[in-house]
Amino acid sequence: MHSNPRARVQQRVRRRAANSDAYAFFNLLTSPELLTEVESLLPEHRERLFPPTETLSMFLSQALSADRSCQRAVNEAAVKRLIGGLSRLSTHTGAYCRARMRLPPILPANLVRHTGQAMIATAPASWRWHGHPVRLVDGTTVAMPDTPANQACYPQPRSQAPGLGFPLCRLVGLVCLGSGAVLDAALGGYCGKGNDEQALLRTLLDTLESGDLLLGDAYYATYFLFGDLQERGVNAVFEQQGARRRVTDFRRGRRLGPRDHLIELRKPPLKPDWMTDAQYASAPEALTVRELATAGKILVTTLLCSKQTPKAALKALYRERWHVELDLRHIKNTLGMETLSCKTPAMAQKEIWVYLLAYNLIRLMMAQSATLVECLPRALSFKHTLQVWIAWDHHAGTDHESALYGLFVLIAEQRVGNRPGRIEPRAIKRRPKPFPPLVKPRELAREEIRRHGHPRKVK
């Protein structure tokens, strides 16, 4: 009998690793299906120092590293070639940057979708909620370098004066609640017709399958989205929109319990600008949805049976929506996608997909480890897994298979604490450096410094 928790975890992993399918998730990385997917997306290319697969690998290394510069990636490749006894590689970054430009953008995008679908296909049924595969949806923005090309494609917010803001890309993603994998994403500008979160989500609806459950915040609780999801056989749980919260009356409709009822929604009389006449005509004339008040929120859902899905279960489920916020934070802050480095729209889009692919590969590690130690992937630490994988990638020898169970033990050692209702102030304690904000274009500020020198520090 092992009294040491780490020894018990090791014993459990060894026992599970003896099964033939123990490395199901890990083997997705080298599966014939994934290799076939990569081969089908590769462009015609001649033999180079940086072929597409090597370029993608180095690009991923940048996304997983604290130092994301091209110089570091090329330096590391040059050192590996020396150690491997190959010909010397120049440390100039020009060839690698041109290789990144040649990389087809569809390659990382399709690999994100492929790894996401492969993970949910392999996930055990215990990762579902009441038998439903839960899909999280949310949007965020990503800042880009302030170049004319980026500004033209992804304009800055209108509140920013010209020359003072940064181009912003809006991203809406579908995430699997059970595994944490990104299933698909849509990119658009921060402003302009067809770039809001609703419009971007509509381009992703084909990713959803009948029986799925879509979980999102109040921005998505619209009549036509409910109708589209109902037609696809997809259920939904959203927070009620603020405008409808003020007119919600639980005395109306069919009462299911305290502050819990079924109501009928009628099709809006005016067609939205984004809809065609045919789409509006095919939309249902009425929808039955369920409204319930819980934990200071009003939820609206297509799960109509209060016995199969009681209010307490829906309350607990909606708390799980916060995971998508944490997932976006991991992608933007832990991996570093919050501020991109590529200076053209095509390369910036490619950079975003590479970050999403790197995120999914880390989630693969977490899913494999969770399967072996019999816990949920959400119970493991994303940042810890990232750190362990980077160390493994740098120091593991050629015989990886013999030490894989040890890798999964290390990943499973750090668990995420369960802290329901945790509240933290959105404020920083450490003061920034006493530099004034840049309130004019940089060229004008430089010219003033040339003429008058730097301004004196204000004490």
Rounded CA-CA distance 192/168 in Å is: 12
The pLDDT tens digits of the residues spanning 45-78 come to 566 778 888 888 889 888 988 888 999 999 988 8
What local confidence, expressed as pLDDT, does residue 415 receive?
Answer: 87
Amino acid at 341: S
The mean pLDDT of the chain is 86
User: Tokens representing 75?
Assistant: 């330096």
What local confidence, expressed as pLDDT, does residue 50 receive?
Answer: 82
Confidence band for 437, pLDDT divided at 50, 70 and 90:
confident
pLDDT exceeding 70 applies to what percent of the chain? 86
Nearest to 199 by CA among 228, 175, 177: 228
DSSP 292-323: EEETTEEEEES---TTTS-HHHHHHHHHTTHH
Burial label, 429 (beta-carbon count in 10 A; 0-12, 13-18, 19+): exposed
pLDDT exceeding 90 applies to what percent of the chain? 53
The pLDDT tens digits of the residues spanning 137-183 come to 999 999 999 999 999 999 888 888 877 889 999 999 999 999 999 99
Rounded CA-CA distance 349/357 in Å is: 13
Global model pTM greater than 0.75: yes
The pLDDT tens digits of the residues spanning 334-374 come to 999 999 999 999 999 999 999 999 999 999 989 988 988 88
Domain boundaries, the chain: 5-104+372-413, 231-316
What local confidence, expressed as pLDDT, does residue 397 receive?
Answer: 53
